[in-house]
Amino acid sequence: MEVSLNAQRIERDEALLSLDITKISNYCKKYGVSMPEDEDAYWGGVHKAITGLKNADRQKRLYSVKWLLARGYEHFLDDLTADELIQIALEINCGES
């Protein structure tokens, strides 16, 4: 049975947004998506993907932006407000990442 592209996207988004390594790994195996073995690179890829999910909850996307920036990674969220950037910087500098 072939899965529609829309159903696959929904499944992908649910796996990524869960931040559950088992769900994400199962999705990757099911669809032949390779993920890095290095744990930091793995989570970096997951969080970067989340920042690119336009239909995802803003707070979840901001959490991933913070995670990425705290570790020196780039993100896909291109509409950050100044207030959001300041809040993220404060949280990173106060050790809340």
Using an 8 Å Cβ cutoff, are 38 and 65 in contact? no
Give the mean pLDDT of 18-47. Answer: 95
Q: What would the two tokens of residue 5 be?
A: 């592209």
Average pLDDT, the chain: 91
Split at pLDDT 50, 70, 90, the class of 94 is confident
DSSP per-residue string spanning 61-85: HHHHHHHHHHTT---------HHHH
Give the mean pLDDT of 7-21. Answer: 95
Whether the per-residue pLDDT at 32 is higher than 60: the answer is: yes
User: What is the pTM for the complete model shown?
Assistant: 0.85
Q: What would the two tokens of residue 25 be?
A: 């790994």
The pLDDT score that the predictor gives to residue 18 is: 97
Give the mean pLDDT of 63-82. Answer: 92
